[in-house]
Structure 1
Amino acid sequence: MMVLEIVMIQMKNTDKKIAIISNHKPQSEEVCRALKQKLRQNNFILTSKNPDVVISVGGDGMLLSAFHKYEDQLDRVRFVGVHTGHLGFYTDYRDFEIDKLVDNLKLDTGAQVSYPILNVKIILGNGEVKTMRALNEATIKRTDRTMVVDLIINHVHFERFRGDGISVSTPTGSTAYNKSLGGAVLHPTIEALQVAEVASLNNRVYRTLGSSIIVPKKDKIELVPARSDQHTISIDNRTLNLKDVVRIEYQIDQHKIHFLASPSHTSFWNRVKDAFIGEADK
């Protein structure tokens, strides 16, 4: 039986600093205004600098934006999402549940649920190194021709890939782009990465494994492009167009993302069921 990693840190409301990030849709802005008012009435400190809790109002994209805004403070900040649209995978509260959120924050003792994230290191031909983090996945593609890269896992040359691209996802991101590529759904407490192919070429001349690969925490994944042309690299909701990519390294990051653990923190399997299956017809 798997046990969530939960850490308890005692904290008073008057000491708790909260940041709120919202998209610009009218419904989200209305929820944001109401939430700020209720938090102030309950003596919470609203600030964007060094918060203890970050609340994203909108959808999953907003939570990704919140994660990247505070990714240099992951050891001290906890996240919680308020959804104002369709079903959100990273959200524990709907737009009509802000009173419930405030009540849970008043009762909060600092409990957190922690999930692994992805560290991506991009080495360029001029010696420049770009290091980034992803909550969901990092994908590399070519837009003008077939991409050819060598896939190396734990220093073992695994295959030469030819196709549209390769996605490396976290367990949390296994239900995002990875799932649409035919990858497996992993519980987010499993510290592993998943490699999924994007439209690989498989014929009598070129062969790849053809299925997603689950890689344990201790193993490093490397992609080495066979050509030094331009590649498009997506890190969650950010996109880079880079020339002369020598190598990309993927590993489980030493930091994790921490979500606010409260009575409303939805079970991962309930999230999967609600997002992809729904209620069965009776």
Structure 2
Amino acid sequence: MRFAILSRGDQKSELIKQRMVTYLNDFSMIYDDKEPELVISVGGDGTFLEAFHTYSYRLEETAFIGVHTGHLGFYADWLPEEVEKLVIEITKKPFEIVEYPLLELKIGSVNETEEHHYLALNEVSIKSSEGTLVMDLLINGTHFERFRGDGLCISTPSGSTAYNKALGGAIIHPSLEALQITEMASINNRVFRTIGSPLILPKHHISELRPLYKKRNFTITIDHNTETYTNIERIECHVSDKKIRFARFRSFPFWTRVRESFISEER
């Protein structure tokens, strides 16, 4: 089997990476950072997001697994002291594949016919660099509302525990193929109104955002990558046909992760 390892870059993570490379090579596995069948992230969820975007062109051929060297993560769930156990699991047992849905984003510019396509594992956030964000929200081509506020967050189910949760959005089990639109400090008064609640859309629904002031600068963050865009005509978001594949060697139920991350007092 061909594998690659991405590290957060700190000393602890780099040492674990070197150990795993040595162990896996001893079991005749091949290190291949171009066409890996298994990608291991060593760090936190941020490192896992980086691994996903690095190999997003190989989603059908590559499975992902994470070793966390900080706090318990939703994606990186193996402990540093379990590295030897993980190596044995990888080399001796076939792993189970668990697939989670992804978010597909299309950004169309006013003066360009070409669309920019992106995938997100966690979420996409949209803000204005020049004051209040004003955008029309359409669902399946029908106008739903005109949003005014700080911004909008469109998240996947697996990303619903991240920025979306901090904004008051719902936690969605990642087996559901859906996306969620959550407001950031919307303006609601006797003149301007928004729905004021998170919207959960199924896979076959397409959300479209059309800025009222197209020449403004917009800050768009896709997972951990932030870029500034101008002259945007439309932003389309929907559940992608592509999925991320996780390599599972043991059961770790989603709701157990939620409890341990947000409720459990154990450290």
Q: Is the 8 A contact 2:96 2:248 kept in 1?
A: yes
Per-residue deviation at 1:111?
A: 2.2
Once residues 130 and 74 of structure 2 are traced to their aligned partners in structure 1, the CA distance between those partners, rounded to angstroms, is 33
Structure 2, unaligned stretches of length 5 or more? none
Aligned equivalent of 1:67: 52
Distance 1:133 1:84 in 2: 26
Q: Give SS of 2:76's match.
A: coil
Match of 1:206 among 188, 192, 216: 192
Q: Which residue of 1 aligns with 2:138?
A: 152
> Whole-Å Cα distance in 2 between the matches of residues 104 and 273 of structure 1?
26
| Partner residue in 2 for 1:3 | none
Aligned residues of 2:5 and 2:39 also touching (Cα < 8 A): yes
| 1:243 corresponds to 2:256 | no
CA distance in structure 1 between the aligned counterparts of 2:60 and 2:245, rounded to whole angstroms? 8
Residue identity matched to 1:237 = H
Q: Distance in 2 between matches of 1:160 and 1:49?
A: 44
Structure-2 separation of matches of 1:72 and 1:40: 25
Does residue 123 (structure 1) correspond to residue 111 (structure 2)? The answer is no
Q: 2:26 aligns with which of 41, 65, 68?
A: 41
Match of 1:169 in 2: 155
Distance, in Å, in 2 between the alignment partners of 1:255 and 1:84 is 29
Alignment partner of 2:118 out of 132, 142, 149: 132
Residues 243-265 of structure 1: CA distance to partner in whole angstroms, max 9, x if unpaired?
111100001111100000211x5
Letter in 1 for 2:22: Q
Q: After TM superposition, give the deviation of residue 92 of structure 1 in Å.
A: 2.3
Work out the CA distance in 2 between the residues paired with 1:266 and 1:60: 16
Q: Residue 43 of structure 2 contacts residue 76 of structure 2 at CA under 8 Å; is this kept in 1?
A: no
What is the match of residue 96 of structure 2? 111
Note the alpha carbon deviations across 1:57-90, whole angstroms, 9 max, x for none.
0000010000001101100100000000111111
Distance in structure 2 (CA, Å) of the matches to 1:270 and 1:103: 25
Unaligned residue ranges in structure 1 (runs of 5+): 1-15
So what's the TM-score if we normalise by structure 2? 0.97
Partner deviation per Cα, 1:217-260 (whole Å, 9 max, x = no partner): 00000000000111000100011100111100001111100000
**CA distance in 2 between partners of 1:107 and 1:163 (Å):** 53
CA RMSD of aligned residues (A): 1.1
Is 2:244 the counterpart of 1:257? yes
- Which range is displaced more, 79-88 or 124-133? 124-133
What amino acid is the match of 2:226? T
What is the letter of the counterpart of residue 57 of structure 2? D
Report the Cα distance in structure 1 between the residues aligned to 2:162 and 2:233, rounded to whole angstroms. Answer: 27
Counterpart of 1:252 in structure 2: which amino acid? V
**SS at structure 2 position matched to 1:96:** helix
In 2, the alpha carbon distance for the partners of 1:234 and 1:92 equals 25
Cα deviation, residue 49, structure 1: 1.5
CA drift of 1:110 comes to: 4.4
Distance 1:152 1:239, change over 3 A: same
Other-structure match for 2:8:
23
Give, in angstroms, the shift of residue 202 of structure 1: 0.6
Contact in 1 for aligned 2:219/2:228 (Cα 8 Å): yes
Does 1:196 pair with 2:182? yes
After superposition, the C-alpha distances for 1:152-179 in whole angstroms (9 at most, x for unaligned) are 1111211000000011000010000000
Kindly state the Cα deviation for residue 35 of structure 1 after the two structures are TM-superposed: 1.0
SS of match in other structure, 1:252: strand
